[in-house]
């Protein structure tokens, strides 16, 4: 018989107006009721009815984890995220290990921090032959499938994105992104805005149906990667443009509680930390924004999250329809968050909560339901967690810890010690210093580069949820303690130096490959509007960064003083000496 909890949850979900396709909301409400009934009948231990459970992970892009629990969950209707919250465990303090697409996913797939795999930016991540947890599932008898956005191997993303990351230490300040805007499309019956994600969701559900119909007994593991709610490319800015358009339809906007949307508090530009100011400027957010503009961007972002939630719902629906939901562990998470104009920024690339806090909800047979977990965790923990759920021993030097002791109804896991901190790092574009974050107790400690050349930040998240008051000088003992703890995790000055060396070597090789086309190519990247204001000075700034004292010597010989200055052959020789030989 259905429990009182089932009935109450059904009434709550029934009040939502969510769909997966076709506009038949009443049908979807009935389906949700079926989910509740079936889930309440699940066994009390993992693998009661099968040797191993199925595992399904849905990983979105840019989903603010604070929307997965109160009070953030009140901003937008997310019925299927709420479904996982009611019948699974919600991690209230889950963090990305690097707030940008490829390095974050590299950490999740490898189970190692990005400095261990040298996944420095969206271009430099894992080798294609890296062993992932999905590989190990396949080796141990799982039928596996990966669909949609993977984005964890090297070589992807735009030329602009990688060049901006390589040259972040150059002494110039250029806008690299389009100004964030909102764009309304379609009408109140327009549901499928992000067509590629919907296509991949359809593929995932078709695969579930086909696999469930198979007569072979092996369990399955499915990964679905979504691009939403990442902002869309701003087409009007040309082929090199990044994603600065928050696009949705009136249908999804009806899911947003507009009365609860506030305008975030901003520090004055002059009072911002220098690294945060660099991010704000390069993200094209240093200009004037009206309150209506900010509210619109935030509302459209939340609507994009609602569309994402509907795709999650379609996957859960397929599991229910095929009768495998009661033996399937479902995981929903994201690679990073989205600032959505908090701290006068959009995108990610920041250790502020909007960017670094990710959703993590896990539901399945033998796992605790309706639980909120305060434990500090991060994406590297998913690797050992998935393996332990599947009964596979983890191999190698993993950075994460299995979360199963926090999830399982079995007392066998209850006494295992969990670490009391979470770690994240960032080495990519839109930030002009390697950044390291340690979360411990109520504190968030952020330090940069070598720990000396750039001042640190410290926030008390209990008293300062908006992260507007840097108290690093007020609590020197706390800083000293967290600094010691951070250095026990990573020798971050050494890592920062390794990134410096990599950036110069990678940029130098790219530049050399362009030959005489260098000036034309670099001047037409995403920063072209600001670059063209003084192209010659910008090229010289890069040379000074790349060659240091050798550049000053060449300047004194007037080799670079000509208005028609191009990349001198002698610099090619210097590059070969410094970085190749």
Task: List the catalytic residues.
Answer: 101
Beta bridge partners of 332: 58, 361
What radius of gyration, in Å, describes the C-alpha atoms of the chain?
24
Question: Nearest Cα to 82, choosing from 471, 291, 341, 363?
Answer: 363
Give the span between the Cα atoms of 95 and 407, in whole angstroms. Answer: 18
Which of the 8 DSSP states describes residue 327? Answer: G
What whole-number distance in Å separates Cα of residue 438 and Cα of residue 483?
Answer: 9
Residue 144 Rama label (left phi>0; alpha psi -120 to 50; beta): beta
C-alpha 472/C-alpha 443 separation (Å) is: 10
Coil, helix or strand at residue 44:
coil
Q: 428, 526, 348, 523: which is closest to 123 by C-alpha?
A: 428
d(CA 538, CA 1): 71
- Read out DSSP for 522-565? HTTSTTHHHHTTSHHHHHHHHHHHHHTHHHHHHHHTTTT-STT-
Residue whose C-alpha is closest to residue 542's, from 171, 122, 159 = 171
**Cα distance between residue 531 and residue 203, in whole Å:** 43
String of b and e for 201-239 (b: at least 16 CB within 10 Å)? bbebbebbeebbeeeeeebbbbbbbbbbbbbbbbeebee
Residue 170 to residue 150: CA distance in whole angstroms: 31
Report yes or no: 342 and 280 within 8 Å, Cβ to Cβ: no
């Amino acid at each position: 018989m259905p429990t009182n909890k089932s009935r109450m949850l059904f009434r709550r979900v029934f009040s939502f107006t969510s769909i997966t396709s076709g506009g038949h909301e009443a049908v979807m409400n009935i389906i949700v009721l079926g989910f509740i009934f079936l889930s309440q009948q699940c066994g009390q231990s993992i693998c009661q009815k099968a040797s191993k459970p199925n595992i399904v992970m849905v990983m979105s892009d840019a989903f603010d984890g604070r929307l997965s629990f109160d009070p953030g969950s009140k901003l937008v209707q997310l019925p299927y995220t709420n479904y996982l919250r009611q019948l699974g465990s919600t991690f209230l303090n889950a963090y990305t290990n690097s707030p940008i697409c490829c390095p974050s996913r590299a950490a999740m797939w490898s189970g190692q921090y990005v400095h261990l795999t040298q996944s420095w930016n969206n271009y430099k991540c894992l080798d294609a032959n890296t062993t992932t947890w999905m590989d190990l599932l396949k080796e141990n008898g799982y039928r596996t499938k990966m669909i949609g956005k993977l984005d964890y191997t090297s070589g992807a993303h735009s030329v602009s994105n990688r060049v901006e990351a390589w040259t972040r230490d150059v002494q110039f300040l250029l806008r690299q992104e389009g100004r964030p805007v909102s764009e309304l499309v379609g009408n109140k019956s327009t549901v499928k805005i992000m067509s590629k994600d919907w296509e991949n969701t359809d593929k995932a559900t078709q695969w579930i149906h086909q696999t469930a119909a198979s007569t072979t007994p092996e369990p399955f593991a499915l990964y679905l990667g979504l691009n939403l709610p990442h902002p869309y490319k701003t087409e009007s800015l040309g082929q090199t443009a990044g994603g600065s358009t928050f696009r949705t339809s009136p249908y999804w906007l009806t899911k947003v509680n507009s009365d609860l949307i506030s305008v975030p508090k901003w520090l004055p530009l002059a009072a911002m930390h220098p690294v945060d100011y660099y991010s704000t400027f390069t993200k094209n957010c240093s200009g004037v924004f009206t309150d209506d503009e900010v509210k619109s961007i935030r509302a459209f972002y939340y609507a994009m999250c609602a569309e994402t939630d509907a795709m999650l719902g379609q996957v859960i629906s397929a599991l229910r329809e095929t009768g495998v939901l009661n033996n399937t562990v479902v995981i929903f998470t994201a690679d990073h968050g989205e600032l959505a104009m908090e701290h006068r920024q959009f995108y990610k690339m920041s250790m502020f909560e909007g960017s670094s806090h990710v959703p993590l909800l896990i539901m399945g047979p033998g796992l605790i339901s309706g639980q909120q977990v305060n434990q500090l965790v991060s994406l590297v923990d998913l690797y050992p967690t998935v393996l332990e759920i599947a009964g596979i021993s983890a191999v190698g030097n993993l950075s994460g810890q299995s979360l199963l002791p926090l999830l399982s109804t079995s007392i066998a896991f209850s006494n295992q010690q969990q670490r009391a901190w979470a770690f994240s790092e960032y080495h990519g574009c839109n930030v002009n210093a390697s950044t390291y974050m340690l979360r411990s107790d109520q504190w968030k400690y952020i330090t940069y580069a070598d720990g000396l050349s750039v001042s640190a930040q410290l926030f008390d998240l209990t008293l300062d949820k908006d992260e507007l008051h840097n108290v690093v000088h007020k609590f020197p003992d706390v800083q000293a303690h967290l600094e010691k703890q951070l250095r026990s995790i990573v020798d971050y000055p050494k890592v920062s130096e390794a990134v410096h060396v990599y950036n110069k070597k990678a940029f130098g090789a790219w530049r050399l490959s362009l030959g005489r086309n260098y000036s034309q190519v670099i001047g037409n990247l995403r920063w072209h509007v600001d670059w063209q204001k003084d192209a010659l000075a910008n090229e010289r700034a890069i040379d000074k960064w790349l060659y240091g004292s050798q550049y000053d010597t060449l300047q004194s010989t007037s080799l670079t003083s000509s208005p028609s200055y191009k990349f001198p052959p002698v610099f090619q020789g210097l590059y070969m000496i410094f970085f190749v030989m």
